[in-house]
Structure 1
Amino acid sequence: MPERTCSCAHCGAAFITSHPRKIYCKRKCAAGAMNERHNKRADHTPRPCLICGAEFTPARSDSRTCSVQCRNKRRYEHEPVRYEKTCVECGRTFQAKRSDAVRCSRQCTSMNWYERNRETQIARATEWNRTNPARRTIVSNHRGRRRASEAAGPGITHCRWVRLQRRQRDRCAYCAGPGPLTLDHIVPLSRGGAHAEGNMAGACGTCNYSKGASLLVEWRKRQNRRATSF
């Protein structure tokens, strides 16, 4: 591409570029323009810094620290700030890590997505069942084996389920997060686990959904890989 001379849309400085759609002279100007667009909707009311207590004017509505040094101290030396929110799906009050969180778990997020795409998903599932009869039979057999495993096991009564939750102090058995708890099979039924109280644990919706049909060791390894990839 031939080089051209143009003016930066943020600072007005002239620069040379061969990119046909480049309008900023450097990345700093692009970030500054983006901040200006967001700052039109931001709350610039002065507030005290969470770490040093000094009053500052935030550049973003969710800023809680006055400088990079205070932000690093908050990140590495202090307990993370939690925001008390009410889930828009189930109405439960929960402690959120982000100030813009609106749903308490991945399960509620999935429910919201399904409600918005229900007709499309039903049509897609109907089409898949029509074009994949053999795989549909495999899925049906798998569900049948699960129902048979549940029927063969002793199961758990409501009284024992309440006792199990109290024994866990209404905390998730995997992440120690607050309830509500859902019943999880430690060894999944699809992997040969029994539908018995000794193979059951109370788990929050996020952990239960994430674990799925994995063994506990497999799920922990998957969680560790995700944590170290960031």
Structure 2
Amino acid sequence: MDGTTNYDINFFKPRTAFLKENVRIITIGITIWAVCVFGFHIFMKVIEKRTPEPGYLIYEQVYPKLTDGTATAEDKLNIARVYLGLIGKSIDLQKNDALKGAFTATVYDVLPSAEKEAFKAATLTKTNKGVTGVANVAKLLGIEDDIVLKGVVPFALVAMEGAVPPMTAPEIPAIMEKYLIHFQSFLTDTKLFGFPFHYFYSAIFLLTLFNLICLIYCYVIDGVMKKHGMESDNE
């Protein structure tokens, strides 16, 4: 082993020819892995585009009308469905009184006059499954066949004990931006073997690449060890 009896090993200060070559091989492998991992994610970040969900587009159109009082009944139904979908997205939003209040107020506003008092009373009746007696809300919103959204309704209402809560709130724009805006690129939209490309690349390709780098290292280092007389050619 280069005629030395010094067995001190320092990856950053290799002293023997074998160690220098070994460090060079390891560095190349780590560099390839790092470029493939971090380079890909940096590239995705560079090319990503701000992509709103359809619900955000409805919000952009309707919310200004709600604030200036020009929203139609159809506008209010549309944004009520957006509010409901948001509440169903996150447990945290099921605890957000501003958003739930906006949903409750919007539904209340478009209900027929004959149903308003019954709706108010229903919001005051609490069970471990939310509120009761709100089947007419699903019918009003046109989600009778949507089991998921219909199931969210009991948890999306606030108790209407006094004044009707506002249909808008200062917190709502930030909620919309956080939950309805995504950053996507052609890498996230492209499918490969049924998976989004970025998922396939990160979850399958990078793991395969790591194992491949390890196998190549083992093969190459065998040759280097033989070259420096550290391993016999005999089986």
Q: Do the structures match in fold with TM over 0.5?
A: no
Structure-1-length-normalised TM-score = 0.23
- Structure with bigger RCO (C-alpha 8 Å, 6+ apart): 2
Structure having the higher strand fraction is: 1
* More helix, by proportion: 2
TM-score normalised by length of structure 2: 0.22
